[in-house]
Amino acid sequence: MQLDETDSQLLSLLGENARAPVATLARKLGLARTTVQARIERLETSGAIAGYTLRLGDAARPRLRATALISIELRAGPTVLDRLKSLPAVESVHTCSGRFDLIVQLAADSTAELDDTLDNIGEAKGVKSSESLIHLSTKLDRPRG
């Protein structure tokens, strides 16, 4: 099927908002509503429009989660904790035994925010080293009842 200029404009408008009312599309194209409806049906039948989809906005996207394992210098705990408290992406901080001193749970709205937070942790005074683990998928989540 060969698309004409009107079809291209219609597809562009549908690309911006696939839920736009046919009357609105018709007004923008300067055509009758029935003409636009017939064009949409023809584009669907021919396969030019394969379907419609949903694009989630930032408010509906799940937050990125990560765990940072931190080694700190001797007696630097209060300084590091103050720094961690100042970072909005830090949800919780736990002391732990083993190779690391702190376990930090993080949640961010974007990879850029997560990256900045991890940089801020690594650059904090009193932090010797850190390792980050990005959460990919949840296999088990037992809420307390």
pLDDT, one tens digit for every residue, the chain (145 residues): 788 999 999 999 998 899 999 999 999 999 999 999 999 999 999 999 998 877 767 677 778 999 999 999 999 999 999 999 999 999 999 999 999 999 999 999 999 999 999 999 999 999 999 999 999 988 888 766 5
pLDDT of amino acid 85: 97
* Cβ-proximal residues to 19 (8 Å cutoff; 6+ apart), any chain: 52
Q: Which domains are delineated in the chain? A: 5-46 (1.10.10.10), 59-134 (3.30.70.920)
Supply the pLDDT for residue 141: 81
As a whole number of angstroms, the distance between CA 77 and CA 36 comes to 67
Q: Return d(Cα 85, Cα 91) in angstroms, integer.
A: 9
pLDDT score recorded for residue 145: 53
Minimal CA–CA distance to 117: which of 76, 64, 75, 73?
Answer: 64
Asked if residues 69 and 98 have their Cβ atoms less than 8 Å apart, the reply is no
Name the β-bridge partners of 66. 106, 134
